[in-house]
Amino acid sequence: MDSNVRPDSMQRITTEALASAFIDEQVAAIKEQVGDKKVLLALSGGVDSSVVAALLIKAIGKQLVCVHVNHGLLRKGEPEQVIEVFRNQMDANLIYVDAVDRFLDRLAGVAEPEKKRKIIGDEFIRVFEEEARKLEGIRFLAQGTIYPDILESKDGVKAHHNVGGMPEEFDFELVEPVKLLFKDEVRVVGKTLGLPDNMVYRQPFPGPGLGVRCLGAITRERLECVRESDAILREEFAKNGLQGKVWQYFTAIPDIKSVGVKDGKRYEGYPVIIRAINTKDAMTATVENVPFELLQHITDRITHEVEGVNRVLYDLTPKPIGTIEWE
The pLDDT assigned to 229 comes to 98
What are the start and end residues of each CATH 3.30.300.10 domain in the chain? 213-314
CATH 3.40.50.720 for the 16-200 domain, yes or no: no
What are the start and end residues of each CATH 3.40.50.620 domain in the chain? 16-200
Query: What's the pTM value of the predicted model, to 2 decimals?
Result: 0.77
Alpha-carbon gap, residue 191 to 185, rounded angstroms: 10
Q: Is 102 left (phi over 0), alpha (psi -120 to 50) or beta?
A: alpha
Segment-wise mean pLDDT, segments of 10 residues, the chain, 327 residues: 84 97 97 94 89 94 92 92 83 93 96 94 86 86 90 60 53 92 95 88 85 96 97 96 92 96 92 95 92 98 97 97 93
Phi first, then psi: what are they for 145, rounded to 5°? -60, 135
Q: The domain at 213-314 falls in which architecture?
A: 2-Layer Sandwich (3.30)
